[in-house]
Homo-oligomer: A and B are copies of this chain.
Amino acid sequence: MMFASDNASGAHPAVMAALARANDGPAMPYGNDPATARVEALIREIFEAPRARVLLMSTGTGANALALAGLCPPWGAIYCHDIAHIEVDECNAPEFYTGGAKLSHVDGAQAMIDADALSDRLAGSGRGVVHNAQPGALSITQATERGAIYTPGDVANLAAIARRHGLPVQMDGTRFANAVAATGASPTALSHGAGVDILCLGATKCGTLAAEAVIVFEPEARPDLVWQLELRRKRAGHLYSKMRFVAAQMEAWLDGGLWLDLATHANSMAARLRAGLARAGIEVVSPPGANLTFARLPSGLHRALQDAGAAYYADPVPGDCVEARFVTSWATSEAEVDALLAACIANAA
């Protein structure tokens, strides 16, 4: 009963098989190999973005920090939600990569940036005032840390606000696959079609070993950006000599829509869990759709679930309860979900 993180799951067999195939003979290092080229072509096709440039990375933190450093100067501010991963869980990686930019919080329910709050914040920014951090970039997490999903309209709305203030838009797409699967919107519609300049497309949590793609949709809009990102990636030690192995993972994951199949499965396991928890009288406090489920558990039940071997994170909340986070993944089985639900029912007061 592993619900601690989608990081806890391994890699899909198709990804492992691709890795084995990639290990056949020598290949030129540092991305000068055919697999890396094929991944760029594949991403251009999937995202209907014929000029897109792709930089492969192997961690989400690295991908986010790299992309933000490409968009926001050291004296800039990156607008993000208070509990965005880049703010809370990356140990100042964005500050490190940007050379000292500031993360500026914009609130909103379920970890979604509120459009009015963003407008207000940007209206009060000190663009052109030398004493103030200069507006640098907007960062949107899709799906959010609470499992909420921005629709194409939501993204377009936020991006338009950013654009009005001259801000580029980065999307932390660690769970972008889950968002595409949940909304049925096209990858395009949820990214550059809605105004996203750089998407960090996460595959690590979604079925690979370690693979992320930083996608710059319109390189010619920012001359030198891609070359700067390449230099920044090297300088950060993220230019892999045997890049073909990262590329092979990404290619296998994207190939034939596997990425969406896996995300659909993870989402459906969350839906099954959510429905079961509701039947068991347990309050679910996060929105449906993606593969994250937050629920309010009495402390007694929480202890019983842990004793039963369920793995998940929980924070104490008032009323002798915890707020538990259950994460499902491509590897979560129906049996695993049902076992958790059975344990809930068995231990209900």
Binding site for B on A (CB under 8 A): 2, 4-5, 7-11, 16, 19-20, 22-30, 57-66, 73-76, 88-93, 95-103, 105, 130-134, 204-205, 209-210, 228, 230-232, 234-242, 245, 331
* Least Cβ–Cβ distance between A26 and chain B, in angstroms: 4
Please state if A27 and B11 are interface contacts (CB–CB under 8 Å): no
Please state if B23 and A5 are interface contacts (CB–CB under 8 Å): no
Please state if B7 and A29 are interface contacts (CB–CB under 8 Å): yes
When the two chains form the complex, which single residue of B10, B97, B101, B134 contacts A23, counting CB atoms closer than 8 Å? B10
Please state if B62 and A237 are interface contacts (CB–CB under 8 Å): yes
When the two chains form the complex, which single residue of B10, B28, B97, B235 contacts A92, counting CB atoms closer than 8 Å? B235
When the two chains form the complex, which single residue of B11, B63, B234, B241 contacts A237, counting CB atoms closer than 8 Å? B63
When the two chains form the complex, which single residue of B30, B88, B93, B130 contacts A30, counting CB atoms closer than 8 Å? B130
Main secondary structure of the interface of A (DSSP, over half): loop
User: Across the interface, which residues of B come within 8 angstroms of A10, CB to CB?
Assistant: 22-27, 242
Give the residue name and chain of the B residue nearest to A5 (CB): B29
Closest 4 CB pairs of A and B: A62-B237, A95-B100, A7-B29, A7-B241
User: How many angstroms between the C-alpha atoms of A245 and B211 in the bound complex?
Assistant: 12
Please state if B8 and A90 are interface contacts (CB–CB under 8 Å): no
Please state if B103 and A92 are interface contacts (CB–CB under 8 Å): no
User: Across the interface, which residues of B come within 8 angstroms of A5, CB to CB?
Assistant: 29, 241
User: How many angstroms between the C-alpha atoms of A130 and B237 in the bound complex?
Assistant: 12
Give the residue name and chain of the B residue nearest to A13 (CB): B23
Please state if B28 and A234 are interface contacts (CB–CB under 8 Å): no
When the two chains form the complex, which single residue of B62, B75, B98, B231 contacts A75, counting CB atoms closer than 8 Å? B231
User: How many angstroms between the C-alpha atoms of A134 and B224 in the bound complex?
Assistant: 13
Please state if B90 and A209 are interface contacts (CB–CB under 8 Å): no
Given contact pairs A8-B29, A19-B19, enumerate 6 new A-B contacts (beta carbons under 8 Å). Answer: A60-B237, A91-B130, A91-B131, A91-B132, A96-B99, A210-B240
When the two chains form the complex, which single residue of B28, B89, B134, B237 contacts A65, counting CB atoms closer than 8 Å? B237
User: How many angstroms between the C-alpha atoms of A140 and B4 in the bound complex?
Assistant: 38
Known contacts A75-B231, A89-B131, A238 near B237 by CB under 8 Å: yes
Please state if B100 and A99 are interface contacts (CB–CB under 8 Å): yes
When the two chains form the complex, which single residue of B19, B59, B74, B234 contacts A240, counting CB atoms closer than 8 Å? B59
Known contacts A16-B23, A96-B100, A239-B59, A133 near B91 by CB under 8 Å: yes
When the two chains form the complex, which single residue of B25, B57, B231, B237 contacts A61, counting CB atoms closer than 8 Å? B237
26 contacts between A and B (CB under 8 A): A5-B29, A5-B241, A10-B23, A10-B24, A10-B26, A11-B242, A11-B245, A23-B209, A58-B240, A59-B237, A61-B239, A62-B236, A64-B237, A73-B231, A75-B231, A75-B232, A75-B235, A90-B131, A91-B234, A95-B100, A99-B100, A130-B234, A204-B241, A210-B241, A210-B245, A236-B237
Please state if A204 and B242 are interface contacts (CB–CB under 8 Å): yes
Please state if A96 and B23 are interface contacts (CB–CB under 8 Å): no
Please state if B96 and A236 are interface contacts (CB–CB under 8 Å): yes
Most buried by B among A24, A28, A57: A28
